[in-house]
């Protein structure tokens, strides 16, 4: 089963994804896409790390998400990817549109063949004002297109607001 958990900053999306992973009763592998490059991001990573069960496996991969999913997916495993918008940012910062499209297409193309359960976490960024800068507008556009394509392939899509899940597609939580 593929699930997409969307929400704004501090909406409860990661906490919900972690609960769903725990409730799956499968072996869990947490796939972190962040690159903690500053003190504030280091604190966020530490907070997430402290909240996760010790028995969960961890893979840190900022760019090659499709490869990691293909290598790690198993029928008896739940993969929790947190988060897609950080992954997208990492690719955008490479300033290589071909690499971005290749990694995005590889991700979308591999999903149907992956066994087990996969939970994606991502920031919903398209509900606010239109950003002023070219890069931030491109980021919002790319995230929106990615979310649409992924939601099409997922069996469940949930929007979290104030810690509350709103099921947009699939069985309600």
Quickly tell me which residue has 């947009």 as its tokens: 168
Domain 2-168: give its CATH superfamily.
P-loop containing nucleotide triphosphate hydrolases (3.40.50.300)
Q: Could you tell me the two tokens for 7?
A: 């929400």
pLDDT in tens, 26-77: 999 999 998 877 777 778 777 777 788 999 999 999 999 999 999 999 999 9
Query: Is it the case that residue 93 has pLDDT exceeding 80?
Result: yes
Task: Answer for the pair 153, 2: CB distance below 8 angstroms, yes or no.
Answer: yes
- To which H or E segment does residue 166 belong? strand 164-169
How far apart, in Å, are the Cα atoms of 88 and each of 77, 81, 115, 119, 151?
24, 12, 24, 16, 16
Structural domain boundaries in the chain: 2-168
Choosing from 48, 67, 77, 153, the catalytic residue is 48
pLDDT in tens, 107-116: 999 999 999 9
Picking from 76, 75, 80, the residue whose alpha carbon sits closest to that of residue 30 is 80
Instruction: Please list the residues that pair with 169 across neighbouring strands.
Output: 157
Q: What is the pTM of this model?
A: 0.94
Position 159 scores a pLDDT of: 98
Known catalytic membership, residue 48 = yes
Q: How far apart are CA 44 and CA 27, in angstroms?
A: 24
């Amino acid at each position: 089963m593929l699930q997409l958990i969307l929400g704004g900053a501090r909406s409860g999306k990661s906490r919900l994804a972690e609960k769903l992973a725990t409730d799956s009763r499968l072996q869990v592998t947490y796939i972190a896409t962040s690159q903690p490059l500053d003190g504030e991001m280091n604190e966020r990573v530490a907070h997430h790390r402290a909240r996760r069960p010790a028995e969960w496996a961890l893979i840190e991969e900022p760019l090659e998400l499709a490869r990691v999913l293909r290598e790690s997916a198993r029928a008896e495993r739940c993969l929790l990817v947190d988060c897609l918008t950080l992954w997208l940012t990492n690719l955008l910062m490479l300033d290589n549109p071909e690499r971005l499209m290749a990694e995005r297409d590889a991700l979308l193309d591999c999903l149907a063949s992956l066994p087990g359960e996969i939970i994606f976490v991502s920031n919903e960024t398209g509900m606010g004002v239109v950003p002023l800068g070219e890069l931030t507008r491109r980021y919002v556009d790319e995230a929106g297109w990615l979310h649409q394509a992924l939601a099409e392939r997922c069996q469940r899509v949930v929007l979290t607001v104030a810690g509350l899940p709103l099921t947009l597609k699939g069985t309600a939580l």
